[in-house]
Structure 1
Amino acid sequence: MPYFDSARGRLHYRRWSVDSPAATLVLLPGTGQHSGHYHRFATALERLARIELWTLDTAGQGLSEGDPEAPGTIDELAADARGLLGEVTAAAPVLMGHSLGAVTALAVAAENPGDLGGLVLCGTPRRATEIAPDPRLPVLAVHGADDRRAPIDVIRLWTARHGSVDLREYADAGHDLLHEPVRQRVTADIAEWVLAAVR
Structure 2
Amino acid sequence: MKYPETQKFWHYLLMLFFDGARGRMHYRRWPVENNVAVVVLLPGLGQHSGHYHRLARTLKAIDVEMWALDTAGHGLSEGDPEHPGTLAELVADATRLVELTRAELPHTPMVLMGHSLGAVTALGMLGAAIPDVGSEADLSAVEANVPVTPSLPVEDLTGLVLSGVPKRALGGGVPGALGTPMPAHLPVLAVHGMEDRRAPIDAMRVWTARHETVNLREYADAGHDLLHEPGHARVAGDIAQWLRNAVVGLARQR
Q: TM-score, normalised by structure 1?
A: 0.95
Measured in 2, the distance between the counterparts of 1:168 and 1:45 equals 18
Given that residues 36 and 109 in structure 2 are in contact (C-alpha distance below 8 angstroms), is that contact kept between their aligned partners in structure 1? Answer: no
Name the counterpart of 2:116. 99
> Per-residue deviation at 1:183?
1.1
1:8 maps to 2:22: yes
How many residue pairs get matched?
Answer: 198
Gaps of 5+ in 2: 1-14, 128-149, 174-181
1:191 partner SS: helix
Measured in 2, the distance between the counterparts of 1:81 and 1:185 equals 27
Using CA pairs below 8 Å that are at least 6 residues apart, which structure has the higher relative contact order?
Answer: 1
Name the counterpart of 1:40. 54
Given that residues 142 and 169 in structure 1 are in contact (C-alpha distance below 8 angstroms), is that contact kept between their aligned partners in structure 2? Answer: yes
Give the aligned residue type for 2:44. G
2:192 partner SS: strand
After the TM superposition, which residues 75-154 of structure 1 pair with which residues of structure 2 at under 5 Å, given as runs?
75-88=88-101, 89-90=104-105, 91-110=108-127, 111=150, 112-132=153-173, 133-154=182-203
Give the aligned residue type for 2:112. L
My pick for the range that moved more, 181-190 or 7-16, is 181-190
Q: Which deviations, in whole Å up to 9, do the C-alpha atoms of 1:118-158 show, x marking residues without a partner?
A: 10000111012023422221111000011010000111011
My pick for the range that moved more, 102-111 or 54-63, is 102-111
Given that residues 106 and 131 in structure 1 are in contact (C-alpha distance below 8 angstroms), is that contact kept between their aligned partners in structure 2? Answer: no
Give the aligned residue type for 2:37. A
Q: Which deviations, in whole Å up to 9, do the C-alpha atoms of 1:80-102 show, x marking residues without a partner?
A: 00110111123441000000100
Measured in 2, the distance between the counterparts of 1:176 and 1:60 equals 20
Give the aligned residue type for 2:42. L
Measured in 1, the distance between the counterparts of 2:21 and 2:194 equals 38
2:170 partner SS: helix
Q: TM-score, normalised by structure 2?
A: 0.75
1:181 maps to 2:225: no
Measured in 1, the distance between the counterparts of 2:87 and 2:183 equals 18
Given that residues 109 and 116 in structure 1 are in contact (C-alpha distance below 8 angstroms), is that contact kept between their aligned partners in structure 2? Answer: no
Given that residues 171 and 207 in structure 2 are in contact (C-alpha distance below 8 angstroms), is that contact kept between their aligned partners in structure 1? Answer: no
Name the counterpart of 1:58. 71
Given that residues 71 and 77 in structure 1 are in contact (C-alpha distance below 8 angstroms), is that contact kept between their aligned partners in structure 2? Answer: yes
Match of 2:43 among 24, 29, 43: 29
Name the counterpart of 2:247. 197
Measured in 2, the distance between the counterparts of 1:123 and 1:62 equals 20
Identity rate, percent: 62
1:53 partner SS: strand
Q: Which has the larger radius of gyration?
A: 2
Measured in 2, the distance between the counterparts of 1:30 and 1:194 equals 21
> Per-residue deviation at 1:64?
0.4
CA separation of 1:130/1:92 partners in 2, compared to 1, >3 Å: closer, same or farther? Answer: farther
